[in-house]
Amino acid sequence: METLTQRLGALAADQDVVGTLVLTIEQRERSRFRTMLDNGEVIGVILERGGAVLRAGDGLADDTGRIYRVEAAPEPVSTVRSDDPLVLLRAAYHLGNRHTPLEVAKGYLRYRHDHVLDEMVRGLGAEPTHETAPFQPESGAYAGGGHHHG
């Protein structure tokens, strides 16, 4: 079984890759796991602990320098869309206050599907929709350095 041990960061669109790992956010948060490439080949990932969460478009390499692309797998999410920035801002504030990983994009917010959070968002005047979509939450203000107060 091949093992990927090197983080490469974001790859260029035309980067030469030998395979693709389609991973859930839970997998992209881990540093050690076994998974399958898009071609069905089993591959291991052993990265330094405490590193940044893998993002869609990042690259990983094996010891021979072969490069593999990371993609975000579709998973159950709730998506809140609105043309009113205030609706999204209020929802983002309250979701963040619950330390919920949150994808923030123009015109929508996305979080792991949770019926309790869906009810809270409805109470704020928004209507979440249940989808199966890639989930790419914000990395956070303290990404890479841990959470510190001071």
- For residue 145, the model assigns a pLDDT of 43
Q: What is the pLDDT of residue 53?
A: 87
Q: How far apart are CA 11 and CA 113, in angstroms?
A: 29
pTM of this prediction? Answer: 0.80
Residue count (the chain): 150
pLDDT in tens, the chain (150 residues): 889 999 999 999 888 999 999 999 999 999 999 999 989 999 999 999 887 889 999 999 999 999 999 999 999 999 999 989 999 999 999 999 999 999 999 999 999 999 999 999 999 999 999 999 999 998 765 444 444 334
Q: How far is CA 89 from CA 94, 105, 118, 125, 150, in A?
A: 9, 11, 15, 12, 27
Q: How many CA atoms lie within 13 A of 6 on its CB side?
A: 9
